[in-house]
Amino acid sequence: MLNKNDNIPMKQIKPCFLLSILFIFSTPVWSEESPDATSIQQLEQLVKTEKGNVIYIDFWASWCIPCRKSFPWLNSLKAQYQDQGLTILSVNLDHSKTLADEFLTEIPANFPVIYDPKGLIAKKYQLKGMPSSFIINRNGKIVSAHVGFNQKKQLSYEAEIKALLSTSAGLK
């Protein structure tokens, strides 16, 4: 057990992080794909439907500690800026929908959740870590990608979203 004064060298953290990412994206653990539409098609359809809005896509998993902190902020963001044209979408990367559902029971999402148990969307977006997010402008172009979540990043992400919500900035 670690004490608060124990220092863990970054060399030890990186292999654990990489192993976690490899586990998430390994093919054998993913559940069956939805028979009516793939996760990629679901996301593409939602993004297409929401074109004209600023879209924030959040990638998350039940085991991701910063994700637990980001969800209340995402719910607040949606409530505050939805009328100005902000859409929040999320992609869950758990191999089991049960794990995601347990997370959502504890920390609800007031925005659509797409389940991506095979990591198809994650591979397409070339995720670098968790949580990851992408911001899409009103023209449907990805204008930024982010990894991680904390208070400082939250302020930065929100400033970027507010700038894009203004008509001229959102149409770049």
Which pLDDT value is given to residue 168? 53
Range of the domain at 149: 46-170
Task: Kindly state the average pLDDT of the residues 14-18.
Answer: 41
For residues 126 and 142, what is the distance between their CA atoms, to the nearest angstrom? 13
The burial of 131, by beta-carbon neighbours within 10 Å (0-12 exposed, 13-18 middle, 19 or more buried), is given as buried
Which CATH number covers residue 120?
3.40.30.10
pLDDT at residue 78 in the model: 97
Assess if residue 15 is contained within a domain. Answer: no
- Strands 142-147, 132-136: pairing is antiparallel
The verdict on residue 25 lying in a domain is: no
Give 6's pLDDT tier (boundaries 50, 70, 90).
Answer: very low
How does pLDDT run across 75-133, given as a tens digit for each residue? 999 999 999 999 999 999 999 999 999 999 999 999 999 999 999 999 999 999 999 99
How far is 113 from 92, CA to CA, in rounded Å? 7
Any domain includes 95: yes
pTM of the model: 0.77
14 within domain boundaries: no
Q: How confident is the model at residue 37 (pLDDT cuts 50, 70, 90)?
A: low
pLDDT value at residue 142: 96
Number of domains in the chain: 1
Q: Tell me the mean pLDDT in the region 29-48.
A: 70
Residue 57 lies in a domain: yes
Query: Does residue 45 surpass a pLDDT of 80?
Result: yes
Residue 55, in any domain of the structure = yes
17 vs 136, higher pLDDT:
136
